[in-house]
Structure 1
Amino acid sequence: MPSDDRSRLVAWDRQLRDVHARLRDSLQIARDAIDDAGEQPASPRLAADLRLFCTGFCAALDGHHRREDDVMFPELLALDPSLADVLAQLTRDHSVLAQLLGSLQQAVDAGHDAATLHRHLDGIEAIMETHFRYEEKRLLGPLSRLVVDREPQEVLGPLA
């Protein structure tokens, strides 16, 4: 959406589902990069592919969560104050995911083998999926009523 065209109604609930789908796809790309690089512990190709993944995926997931924390959650709280506990839990999940992403980056930088890197991705995926399901279960209804005069990227991050 062009920045000067704010007349289009944005369905925030659909936007959130779309962002989650893109993040799931990005996680699969990382798994594929590990598998394509083979089982060598310090493979230069594996390290390069995963650094690229971490730069892209980690930045996208972190950007999505920062936008939620800074923009979307305050808007939802203003719309429905009864969401305070839900939003607090989701914010805690964001912190856990940021730590897991940092651990993955350290493992990539240290040249860990494919099995170790897959374990890191498994942990990220487990928390991410639980988080996404909870978020969608609890927020899609309120998001369908949300009216915010902002670009989707400002509310949901770089993949919106």
Structure 2
Amino acid sequence: MTDPAADRRTGERDRLVAWDRELRAAHERLRDALRVAREAASADAESAGRDLLLYCRGFCLALSAHHRGEDDVLFPVLQAEHPEISQTISALRQDHGMIAHLLGGLELAVDGAPAPDDLARHLEGIAAIMESHFRYEERSLDAILAELALDEEPGRVFGML
């Protein structure tokens, strides 16, 4: 008799080998969340206020959790196994700090009931840095992640729980 929970865990571990795909999938979900936040910011003032609280905060939390997972779980493993990419990891962590600062500015703006143009500027700035960061990260880590054997939950590593 087979144990369904054990079979599910084994299947999950087998799937985890594709960390490069997991990273790209997490980035796509975050791009989608940003798109929804931007749509909410461009809506009429009454609905924008309600939607922004939900979508912008949700986006901010998701992106922050994603970077925390990378900083706390993924990057230490990569640095230990591939010390030659220390400068890349350092640059990615620096990007995380810059994006956290921009997210803090967005959260303050949302709290202050800003004009839609102000929110659009915040979101545009985050979008530009985020996209540049994601592309650099994918380009720099793709080959290493494709070979990575890490027994962790993807949601924990990429903050997508």
Give the structure-1-normalised TM-score. Answer: 0.90
Q: 1:150 aligns with which of 149, 152, 161?
A: 152
Specify the alignment match of 1:5 in structure 2: 9
Identity score, percent = 47
Specify the alignment match of 2:92 in structure 1: 90
Tell me if 1:15 matches 2:17.
no
- Figure out how many residues of one structure are paired with residues of the other and give that number: 153
Specify the alignment match of 2:41 in structure 1: 34
Deviation for aligned residue 1:35: 2.0
Q: Per-residue CA shift, 1:120-160, capped at 9, x if unaligned?
A: 0010001001100100110011101111111111111116x
Partner letter of residue 51 of structure 1?
Answer: L
Deviation for aligned residue 1:5: 0.4
Q: 2:102 aligns with which of 100, 107, 114?
A: 100
Specify the alignment match of 1:113 in structure 2: 115
CA contact (8 A) 2:57 2:107 kept: no
Which is helix-richer, 1 or 2? 2
Q: What pairs up with 1:49-60 in 2 under 5 angstroms?
A: 49-60=51-62
Task: Output the CA distance in 1 between the equivalents of 2:97 and 2:106.
Answer: 14
Q: Per-residue CA shift, 1:8-66, capped at 9, x if unaligned?
A: 24100000000101111111101111222x2x4xx3x3222111113311111000000
Partner letter of residue 5 of structure 1?
Answer: R
Partner letter of residue 22 of structure 1?
Answer: R
CA contact (8 A) 1:51 1:105 kept: no
CA contact (8 A) 2:42 2:120 kept: no
Task: Output the CA distance in 2 between the equivalents of 1:87 and 1:81.
Answer: 9
